Structures are given as C-alpha cells and as structure tokens.
Amino acid sequence: MSVFKVEQLRAVALMFLELNTLAVNICLVFFGFYDLLIGYLIFRSAFLPRILGVLMAFAGLGWLTFLSPPLASHLSPYNLSLASSQSYC
C-alpha cells in the first residue's frame, strides 16, 4: 500500500463506496421485478388469497422506484412502507 498516496487511497475508497450504492440500487430494482412477478402469480393462484398478490405487487412497485434514485429519495417514507409490506405477507 505504500505505492499509493493517501489522497489516492481515499479517492479509490470513495469510488468503491459510490459503486456499492449503485449496485444496491440495481439489486433493489431486480427485487422489485421479482416481487411484481410473484405478486402476479399469487394473484392468479387459487391456493393463496388474492390480497397477498396485490400486496406483493405494491411492494414490487415500491422497490421499482429505485430505478430513479432522486425519485426514490423524494418518495422515501412512502416507497419504503410499500416495499416493507411484503414482509408481512
């Protein structure tokens, strides 16, 4: 590590922190698509109540707001409450 200067090490650390944020947002978007698909399948199912499918689809919509990080931060209390509703299904 003595090859790099302190400023360079800090810049690389900051770059990886920002990359981690982007990767988490991408992961949440894929999870939103997964929730929408599972919600649709539950809604069409005869075994589970349809309200669970609707709640799962709403949770997917909550996670899909992370497609646009400024929109997700603007809708922060609402989209997180929608997205966390799936844990109660």
Reference 51, options 59, 60, 42; nearest CA is 42
Taking only the tens place, the pLDDT of each residue in 17-57 is 999 988 988 888 899 999 999 999 999 998 999 999 998 99
Taking only the tens place, the pLDDT of each residue in 3-20 is 889 999 999 999 999 999
